[in-house]
A and B are shown apart, each in its own frame.
Chain A
Amino acid sequence: MTTKKLAIIATKGTLDWGYPPFILASTAAALGYEVQIFFTFYGLQLLRKSLDHLKVTSLGNPGMPMPMPMPVLLQALPGMQSMMTVMMKQKMKSKGVASLEDLRNLCAEADVKMIGCQMTVDLFGFNPSDFIPGIEMGGAATFFEFAGESDICLFM
């Protein structure tokens, strides 16, 4: 049986959208897939050493369940985003949902290959030392080298 391959492009840098790439990558690895994730634009935030800065926001996200109905302008008040992030983290913990750091570590342990987009690093002036060790930097062609042979390819 040949090894199946999963390629993921992670483009979002919020706490909630950090989950899909790491959940699917770690699970696929547990099922025996060879997995690569290409982190580009805001997705690069998911490769920072600490993920404490990631937040959730209800702004532009009317699907987010709120504990009480709240006008959008109120949601934009200073401190609201931080408060929602704290509440989301508490909820996740109480429901036994893994932290993003844990899932990322599980991915790394399972040999999920993580590639950062070099262009984005240059664009935003990131310092390579901002990122976790063990990742590679590359461009679109680097991604296609693996994605072109993948069985599943997802954009997130």
Chain B
Amino acid sequence: MTTCDKELDARGLNCPLPILRTKKALNDLTGGQTLRVVATDPGAIKDFQAFAKQTGNELVESGEANGEFTFVLRKKA
């Protein structure tokens, strides 16, 4: 597991909170830094792909284990 500059626990939150919290967390980072998000909302998989595509923040990792979804985003430079 790669180390990230910031971690966000979005477990138990439903749409659109994981995305909104992610956006907020990214605001605290500088370009190139990474954020790891853990979520349980099954809609998050598609939403994080869409979020990355539309905002230009890169989705570096996307995985699932034991009903939890993990995403690593790299903030746009």
- Using a CB–CB cutoff of 8 Å, the interface residues on chain A facing chain B are 23, 26-27, 30-32, 95-98, 106
**Interface majority SS (helix, strand, loop, mixed), chain A:** loop
Residue among B13, B14, B20, B40 with the highest chain A CB neighbour number at 10 A: B20
- Which parts of B1-45 form the interface with A (CB within 8 Å)? 12-17, 19-20, 22-23, 40-41
Q: Are A30 and B13 in contact (CB under 8 A)?
A: no
| Minimum Cβ distance to chain A for residue B60 (Å) | 19
Q: How far is the CA of A31 from the CA of B23 in the complex (A)?
A: 8
A23-B16 CB under 8 A given contacts A30-B23, A96-B41: yes
Q: Are A27 and B19 in contact (CB under 8 A)?
A: yes
| Minimum Cβ distance to chain A for residue B68 (Å) | 14
Q: Are B20 and A106 in contact (CB under 8 A)?
A: yes
Report the nearest A residue to B50, measured CB to CB: A31
Q: How far is the CA of A51 from the CA of B12 in the complex (A)?
A: 24
Which single member of B12, B13, B14, B54 contacts A32 (CB below 8 Å)? B54
- Residues of chain A within 8 A (CB-CB) of B15 are 23
A31-B55 CB under 8 A given contacts A26-B20, A96-B41, A106-B20: yes
Q: Are B17 and A98 in contact (CB under 8 A)?
A: yes
Q: Are B14 and A96 in contact (CB under 8 A)?
A: yes
15 contacts between A and B (CB under 8 A): A26-B16, A26-B20, A27-B20, A30-B19, A30-B51, A31-B55, A32-B54, A32-B55, A96-B12, A96-B17, A96-B40, A96-B41, A97-B14, A98-B13, A106-B20
- Residues of chain A within 8 A (CB-CB) of B51 are 30-31
A30-B41 CB under 8 A given contacts A23-B15, A96-B12, A97-B14: no
Q: How far is the CA of A98 from the CA of B13 in the complex (A)?
A: 8
Q: How far is the CA of A132 from the CA of B12 in the complex (A)?
A: 29
Q: A30-B23, A95-B14 are in contact. List 16 more A-B contacts (CB 8 A).
A: A23-B16, A27-B16, A27-B19, A27-B20, A30-B16, A30-B19, A30-B20, A30-B22, A30-B51, A31-B51, A31-B54, A31-B55, A96-B13, A96-B14, A96-B17, A98-B13
